[in-house]
């Protein structure tokens, strides 16, 4: 059935978005100014885009949705739309980054439902 959640379970873009958001859900695992870094105590930290790219799977759909949301949230970068996520990550706070992921997941769920049988 379209509303039982099964459609969402198998969607690769949603899976990548969820995994990336979970990777940086704890603010101690999030960073700004770099895709990834390791702190002196060995904690891995990721920026929003690094968390997506670190999924080691196809991430193009997740990257595109996050870029769209970052632009909607008013974050643009002179290097182009793909860098809007970096601009948002580096110029806002952790809560705003989490909101970007939440909105991207909402948009993807809406896309899935629009094409559901």
What is the mean pLDDT for each group of 10 consecutive residues in the chain (117 residues)? 50 92 97 94 94 77 92 81 89 97 96 83
61 CB-near residues (< 8 Å, 6+ apart)? 12, 13, 16, 108
For position 61, what pLDDT does the model report? Answer: 86
For position 2, what pLDDT does the model report? Answer: 44
- As a whole number of Å, the CA-based R_g of the chain is 14
pLDDT tens profile 17-44: 999 999 999 999 999 999 999 999 999 9
17 touches 108 (CB < 8 A): yes
Sequence ranges of the domains in the chain: 6-114
The pTM (predicted TM-score) of the whole model is: 0.86
């Amino acid at each position: 059935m379209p509303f039982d959640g099964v459609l969402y379970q198998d969607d690769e873009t949603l899976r990548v978005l969820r995994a990336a958001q979970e990777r940086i859900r704890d603010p101690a695992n999030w960073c700004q100014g770099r895709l990834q870094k390791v702190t002196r105590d060995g904690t891995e930290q990721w920026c929003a885009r690094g968390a997506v790219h670190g999924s080691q799977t196809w991430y193009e759909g997740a990257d595109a949705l996050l870029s769209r949301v970052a632009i909607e949230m008013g974050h643009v970068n002179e290097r182009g739309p793909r860098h809007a996520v970096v601009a948002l990550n580096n110029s806002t706070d952790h809560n705003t980054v989490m909101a970007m992921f939440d909105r991207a997941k909402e948009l993807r769920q809406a896309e899935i439902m629009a094409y559901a049988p």
